[in-house]
Amino acid sequence: MKKDYKYAISVCAGSKCVHLNNELIDIILKEIQRQGLEDQVKVTKSACLGYCEEGPLLVIHPDNITYARVQKDDIAEILSEHIKNRRWVTRLLFHRDQIANSFFPQFGDVDFFGKQYRITLRNCGVIDPESIDDYLAYRGYEALAKVLTVFSPQQVIDEIKRSGLRGRGGGGFPTGVKWQSGHDAVGDVKYMICNADEGDPGAFMDRSAIEGDPNTVIEGMIIGGYAVGASKGIVYIRAEYPLAIKRLQIAIAQARERNLLGNNILGSEFSFDIDLRLGAGAFVCGEETALIASIEGKRGMPKPRPPFPTEKGLFDKPTVINNVETWANIPVIILDGAEHFASMGTEKSKGTKVFALAGAVRNTGLVEVQMGTTLREIIFDIGGGIRDDKAFKAVQTGGPSGGCLPSQYLDTPIDYNSLMAAGSIMGSGGMIVMDETTCMVDIAKFFLDFTQNESCGKCTPCREGTKRMLEILIRITEGAGQPDDIDKLLRLGTMIQKSSLCGLGKASPNPVLSTIKHFRHEYEAHIFDKKCPTKTCKSLLTYTILEDKCIGCGLCKKNCPVKCISGEKKYSHSINQADCIHCGVCFSTCKFEAIIRE
Amino acid sequence: MTPQWNDLASELLQRFGDETRYAIPILQAIQTEQGYIPIPLLEAIASKAQHLQANQLYGVATFYSQFTFTPKGKHTIKVCMGTACFVKGAQQIVDAFKSALSIEIGETTPDKLFTLQTVACLGCCSLAPAVMIDGHVHGQVTQESVAALLKAKGFNL
């Protein structure tokens, strides 16, 4: 029997904090017993609230009061003060605004949450992701019921078309149009696939969305299956996401029990079921034809399109592939109507987009904003600006397929077209903020090293071209750059963009081309002056001991791995530059600021 | 070919099915249960199966980074090299692990206790730099905390 609790304490249990917070939950449960509050307080695990910076987070419902950085010792006080005495524990409330020194007791009061607009993440952190009852209580599966009773498949497709929803995996293809061609294709079996092979370094939107609200994704897929006429769904998810996998399995099992999956769903003529497939670690499998090859049990190599998967996809049958976030939007569009969804965002990009905000920004975490929000609003209002009062340098969107945008683009409203025009892409939603200490040549090398490693090797431009580009970047960062290297990179990059087979190859030069476009002077400093302006590239740094500051303690000499520092105790030391490997150990061990790095 | 692999091969084919599409789930089961992919086992499967060939299984296993052909150590350390971690100094963390364990990336310590790997992204960017040890994520790792993490897993400095 369900108890009528007065309060619910929800503890953030995303995979980042889950190990930590399980212990916290045990302590809360014990303390509830100790204080005799069992009949009043329910404890739930919520998904990642997205504000990881301030975790562990605890939200007390229905008061909607959020406590941050909660430690074990705080639990007794929270229970006795908040629940018994009805007083807030002010010292644990959000306390971010240091100038006004004001408190932000309620969830939406904090800029981090208040400036967001959560549609796909609407239930994340609110419901218990392991309980279908919780989801049902928040209008879960209502959209499915509406579709099965009121809509014809074509009406569903028309509704999605009218909403203007575009694929959230990065490509931005209109979802309704994709469904239409899947619907129109002839086939005895049709497949719906959810692409949860989130491989971009610096992206965790899909993981958090599934961990927080797996049922929304499932409901979206069932609705899609009904519209297209598919009977089988597959979620292709990274094996690196164990918690998301577990929660999907629970959600699928619970949906089967309630006849939301399986034969004759909710008494209708429509039958649909979902299986999980675990990715085996290949970035290229995020590309839809490679993903299909992987499910078929082959090496994950892309195929030329056409034929598109909607005509000839998995096992040569019509297949519709959408990204996690796209699926999560479907129930909302059906429930609130296409017009409502289309009222949000910009002319060509409707609705919202989830971003994984990370890097040199104060508030890292998951944010969902309306399309058309500017980069500045995300980084400075929601993200709280740059950490350690450093200066903003660039923001990287779109992961290894995207580009770095400097400060003059901060007021760019976010949509598919504007980011493309600025030289980056929307991508799946990774957003890495960089401050003045990040070397742009080094970051371009980092991304190219990644794509080069992940190139499947099928087509020559990507396989060989990215390797040559990487070699040039490595020699630039090691001080061996040649005068025509920038031109070579531009020529190779343009060639790879034009001639590669799949999206991974075509986009692989973007990080290099965008950094050359916006930070050409940094490349030139590396090549011509043999200097790294941010002092990042080790080979280009020289270390010198200042004679008047060195007291001859011998610490640097002792720690030098190649023993290239000489000097008598209590006398000034010196570095033999010929043997120095530029590791910087002497610089970081010196306690007297007697070593300069330039 | 040892009889042990023969029995296991039959069991795997029965559990998953003799179809090309089951190649990856079969390999994943082997990797999880054995800790690596023994090549004689692939040959045993191929000799019993109609639709799974040894070259295909080998080709798939070499394509995906999840599969290894040598046994892993007792503890697997995965240092995240995602963008956020990279920007926050993941390279120094890898270097600290390498020098503490005296092994390179992808190698296992001679006592078979630790395997060191790097991964593209753990999806814990807000905890950067992050390290996953035996499935548990540790956030905001520093060069100094590397020793403590290793010590907690039985490493003697």
- Structural contact between residues A486 and A516, judged by C-beta atoms closer than 8 angstroms: yes
Same domain membership, residue A180 and residue A39: no
Comparing C-alpha atoms, which of A436, A432, A356 is closest to residue A388? A436
Q: What is the ipTM metric for this complex?
A: 0.86
Q: State yes or no: pLDDT of B125 exceeds 80.
A: no
pLDDT in tens, A272-296: 999 999 998 888 999 999 999 999 9
Q: Chain A interface, mutation test: which of B78, B98, B125, most A Cβ atoms within 10 Å?
A: B125
Domain extent for A283: 132-342
> Smallest Cα–Cα separation from A236: which of A322, A155, A306?
A322
Residue A485 lies in a domain: yes
Closest to A363 (Cα-Cα) out of A168, A104, A119: A104
Chain A residues near residue B25 by CB distance under 8 angstroms? 277-278
Most B CBs within 10 Å, among A23, A298, A535, to test the B interface: A298
Residue-level pLDDT at A101: 34
Report pLDDT digits (tens) over A96-129.
Answer: 443 333 344 445 455 666 677 888 888 887 788 8
Domain boundaries of chain B, sorted by first residue: 3-63, 75-152
Q: Are residues A221 and A298 in the same domain?
A: yes
Contacts 24+ apart (CB under 8 A), A564-572: A572/A545, A572/A547, A572/A548
* A278: chain B residues, CB-CB within 8 Å: 24-25, 28
Per-residue pLDDT tens over the stretch A227-277 = 999 999 999 998 888 889 999 999 999 999 999 999 999 999 999 999 999
- Integer Cα distance of A228 and B86 in angstroms: 42
pLDDT at A112: 65
* CATH 3.40.50.10070 at B75-152, yes or no: no
Same-domain status, A179 and A33: no
Residue-wise pLDDT for B37-84, tens only, equals 999 999 999 999 999 999 999 999 999 988 989 888 889 999 998 888
* CB proximity under 8 Å: A 132-191 to B: none
Q: Is residue A207 over pLDDT 50?
A: yes
**Contact criterion met (CB < 8 Å) for B66 and A16:** no
Q: Which CATH number fits domain B3-63: 3.30.160, 1.10.3470, 1.20.1740, 1.10.10?
A: 1.10.10
Question: Does B139 contact A at CB distance below 8 Å?
Answer: yes
The pLDDT tens digits of the residues spanning A339-395 come to: 999 999 999 999 999 999 888 888 888 889 999 999 999 999 888 899 888 999 999
Asked if A268 and A412 sit in the same domain, the reply is no
Are residues A77 and A223 both part of a single domain? no
Same domain, A427 and A448: no
A444/A391 same-domain check: no
- A2 domain-assigned: no
Both A49 and A164 in one domain: the answer is: no
Query: Are B65 and A280 within 8 A, CB to CB?
Result: yes
What band does A496 get if pLDDT is binned at 50, 70 and 90? very high
Nearest CA in chain B to A439: B87
Query: Is residue A115 assigned to a domain?
Result: no
CATH code, A572: 3.30.70.20
Q: B126 pLDDT exceeds 90? A: no
State whether residue A365 sits within 8 Å of chain B by CB: yes
Q: Is residue A389 located within the same domain as residue A410?
A: yes
Region at A21 (left for phi over 0; alpha for psi -120 to 50; beta for the rest): alpha
Mean of pLDDT over chain A: 89
Most A CBs within 10 A among B18, B78, B79, B87, hence the mutation to make, goes to: B87
Is the same domain home to A190 and A254? yes
CA contacts within 13 A on the Cβ side of A461: 19
Q: What is the CATH number of the domain that holds A465?
A: 1.20.1440.230
| Cβ-contact A288, A178 below 8 angstroms | no
- Give the closest-approach CA distance of A356 to chain B in angstroms: 8
Q: pLDDT tens-digit profile of A442-473? A: 999 999 999 998 999 999 999 999 999 999 99
Residue A64 reports pLDDT greater than 90: no
**Phi-psi category of residue A500: left, alpha or beta, with phi > 0 → left and psi -120 to 50 → alpha:** beta
Residue A593 covered by a domain: yes
The number of distinct structural domains making up chain A is: 5
